[in-house]
Amino acid sequence: MAIELNKGNKLNLSKKEPSLKKVMIGLGWEVLPGNNMDLDASVFMIGENGKIPADEYFVFYNNLQSPDGSLKHTGDNRTGIGDDDDEMILANLPAVNPIIKELIVVVSIHDAEVRKHHFGLLKNAYIRLVDVENSREVVRFRLDENNTSFTEIEFGRLKREEDGWHFIATGVGTAIGLQGYVDKYV
């Protein structure tokens, strides 16, 4: 049974799941009837200084793999149709370059400003971590559905600390666009 986290909760993955090495970061949502939206999952691989060490450490639909091979985006789902994860990122935690201290998972709405789309047009949005070795869901965080002013949401973070990897359920929304996140972390 997966651990359900609330916004702001933190889970020490290395303590709770000491054998966890390869994880699938699954992101899902349902678009409310009458709407058609393209959401994009991205991961910013952050170094000690709070920035990505090189452009290639920004994993998204136009750069599907990190330079160290530790993160692989499975591709862009442009419709969100279906009951399972809409976008997935595979992470091999022991292979993450030691200079990387945090993996920040962001979901943005493509052309949100032009199309007047926002996260309030979605329901049942979540992030979950699945142990790839045994296909068992380890943790899940469901976003609340009051996100009408947000066009991007940081769903969660995987943070490397002295005692191992931690997952933080952030659920922080913005309206800065994906480029705003790029500007923040590059």
Would you place residue 139 in the very low, low, confident or very high pLDDT band (cuts 50, 70, 90)?
very high
The whole-model pTM stands at: 0.93
What number is the average pLDDT over the span 92-105?
98
Q: Are 42 and 59 in contact (CB under 8 A)?
A: yes
- Tell me phi and psi for residue 139, to 5 degrees: -145, 150
Residue 185: its H or E element: helix 177-185
* pLDDT score, position 75: 81
* pLDDT above 70 for 10: yes
* pLDDT score, position 78: 53
CATH of 3-185, one of 2.60.60.30, 2.30.30.100, 3.50.50.60, 2.70.70.10: 2.60.60.30
Q: Are 181 and 170 in contact (CB under 8 A)?
A: no
Q: Are 112 and 177 in contact (CB under 8 A)?
A: yes
Give the mean pLDDT of the chain. 92
Better-scored residue on pLDDT, 75 or 51: 51
* pLDDT above 70 for 122: yes
pLDDT above 90 as % of the chain: 79
Ordered by start, the domain boundaries in the chain are: 3-185
pLDDT digits (tens, 9 = 90+) for 37-60: 889 999 999 999 999 999 999 999
100 Cβ neighbours under 8 A, 6+ residues apart = 45, 46, 47, 53, 57, 68, 160
* pLDDT above 60 for 140: yes
Residue 5: its H or E element: strand 3-5
Better-scored residue on pLDDT, 20 or 81: 20
What number is the average pLDDT over the span 147-166?
94
Q: What is the 3-state secondary structure (H, E, C) of 35-73?
A: CCCCEEEEEEEEECCCCCCCHHHEEECCECECCCCCEEE
